[in-house]
Structure 1
Amino acid sequence: MEMQNITLSLPKPILHRVKILAVQRQSSVSRLLTQAVEKMLEEETEYEMARRRQMALLAKGFNLGFRKPASRDEIHER
């Protein structure tokens, strides 16, 4: 996969914590952030697919057992 460099500005305390985490995981800051972004994109894709499925179900509607109420004449029929 072709990589492209970007400039990223992070608050110093966050960058410090990210560096520590990368060392603990025997990784680089770049790889750690790449994994985090990949996970966010995957979750977003899964969410979007689930949302589309649910919207299709709502558009189709649900059978709630509704029956048209009897007319006044039908109720008072003798």
Structure 2
Amino acid sequence: MLSALPVKLEFVLGELTLSLAALNAFIEGQVLPLEPTAASNVEVRVAGKCIAVGELVQLGDRLGVELREVGRGMGNE
């Protein structure tokens, strides 16, 4: 039954464009900037396609994503 197959979800906070030189200069402890809205616009992806958008929330000692918009493919067809 296909509906029982496991599906890997990816949670994407944002993107950052850097030069190759900047990428090669990465060091441990370095902080990379994200857009101020990154925590409220988390893309949920399956196989690289956005299927939902949500917001990071605290679940006790864990993080979660509260879904705000759900739709297969959401503009990535």
Check whether TM > 0.5: no
Task: Say which structure is richer in strand.
Answer: 2
Higher relative contact order (CA 8 A, sep 6+): 2
Greater C-alpha radius of gyration: 1
Task: Say which structure is richer in helix.
Answer: 1
TM-score interval for Structure 1 and Structure 2 normalised by the shorter chain: under 0.3
Q: What is the TM-score normalised by the length of structure 2?
A: 0.23
